[in-house]
Structure 1
Amino acid sequence: MIREAHVNGIKLVYREEGDPASPPLLLIHGRTANHNDWNGITQHFAARYRVLALDLRGHGASDYPGSYAVTEMAEDVVALLDHLGIERATLIGHSLGGVVAYQVAMNHPERVERLVLEDAPPPLPFKNRPPIVEDDSTGFDWRMMHQIERQLVDPDPAWMEGLGKITAPTLVLSGGKQSHVGTEAVAARIPGAQLVTIEAGHLIHVNARGPFLEAVDAFLNG
């Protein structure tokens, strides 16, 4: 079921599957993607969770307000939880979605039951990143691409400090040698985080869906 919520001054579109009485689980896609990125994943979790998969601001059918701070995206997530009357949720975030998820976990620890970060970039300066070149790709706001890039290349030092304050049980999934991200640095910083490496590159849930689901299930059931 596709729904929309007017929260934090914008329209957010999200997909909902599973029993509304089940524990809530929120899936947060990566940059340029949308809720459809989780097709096949949502159905797996909907057997025992109330699954929510949103389109972040600047993506998919959600609003393109022109303002794309990662911290704003995290506040959008919290506002969506408020709108739905959800006190605590499990968050699963891929790439940019993982950065948004760890922002929620560090700034609103009481809202996060468990945290899964799939190949989420660490808040460390990126060296030698090629510049973004716009093409005819659609389905997202190019302004978002440029603004997010600046934040990922030169992140706020407070983010690294914030990772150390995360209290939710955390699973960090690395795509291994084929990934450009280096999410191991995130796992090293979050207290008690489990690190699981799946040699699948950056898109673990796409390239290795079985091992991805196996690792996440083991963590969520643990």
Structure 2
Amino acid sequence: MRREAQVNGIRLAYREEGDPAAPALVLLHGRTADHNDWNGFTRHFADRYHVLVPDLRGHGASDFPGTYPIPEMAEDVAALLDLHDAATATVIGHSLGGMVAYHLAMRHPERVTRLVVEDSALPVPMRDRPALVEDDSTGFDWRMMHDTERQFLHPDPAWLGGLARITAPTLVISGGQASPFRADLLAERIPGARLVTIEAGHLVHTTERVAFRQAVDDFLGG
């Protein structure tokens, strides 16, 4: 069911599925996508969880506030959980959504019961990135692209050390050699994180849906 809420000073659009009395699970899409990126997975997890799938700020039907600090995106998610009286949640994020997820887990470690990060970057300066060139793509705010790109190139140095504050059992899924990111290096920084590599490139959950679902189900059931 599509819903909208005022959280953290913005309007956040999101999809909600499953029993509200069940444990909360949040799915966070990657950059330029929206909640539809998790179609199929939403229903799959709704058998066991109260599933919340937001359009991150600057994406889809959510507000385009013009500023897009990744930690503030994490606070948007925390506020959405507050709205649903969910003290804790399992959080699954892809790419930018994975970064938002691990920021939530390091800012509010007591709120994240399990964390799954799919092919996201370590918060260190990225090099050899092609210049960002605007085209006619829609469905997201181009200011979000520029703002997040600056954070990819020049992340706050404190973010790297902050990963050590994550206490949730964590699964890091790497897309392998075809991925633009070294998710294995991210896994090394999160205490006790488990690394699974699926040779699928960056879009693991769409390119290898069955393998991704199995890896996550095995982790959540463990």
TM range (shorter): over 0.9
1:191 is displaced (CA, Å) by 0.6
The match for 1:10 is 10
The match for 1:65 is 65
1:81 is displaced (CA, Å) by 0.7
Opposite residue 57 of structure 1, the aligned amino acid is R
Size of the alignment, in residue pairs?
222
Once superposed, what is the RMSD of the aligned Cα atoms? 0.6
The match for 1:35 is 35
C-alpha distance in structure 2 between counterparts of 1:157 and 1:46, whole Å: 37
Within-5 A mapping of 1:203-222: 203-222=203-222
Opposite residue 221 of structure 2, the aligned amino acid is N
SS across alignment from 2:187:
helix
Opposite residue 24 of structure 1, the aligned amino acid is A
C-alpha distance in structure 1 between counterparts of 2:157 and 2:183, whole Å: 16
Matched, 1:47 2:37: no
C-alpha distance in structure 1 between counterparts of 2:112 and 2:119, whole Å: 19
TM-score by length of 1: 0.99
The match for 1:86 is 86
Opposite residue 77 of structure 2, the aligned amino acid is V
TM-score by length of 2: 0.99
The match for 1:191 is 191
The match for 2:121 is 121
1:128-187 deviations in Å (ceiling 9; x for gaps):
111110000000000000000000111111111001111000000000001011111110
C-alpha distance in structure 2 between counterparts of 1:97 and 1:83, whole Å: 20
Opposite residue 97 of structure 1, the aligned amino acid is G
Q: Which runs of 4+ in 1 moved over 2 A?
A: none
1:30-80 deviations in Å (ceiling 9; x for gaps):
000000000111111111111110000000000000010001101101111
The match for 1:106 is 106
SS across alignment from 1:6:
strand
SS across alignment from 1:220:
helix
Q: What's the % identity of the aligned pairs?
A: 67
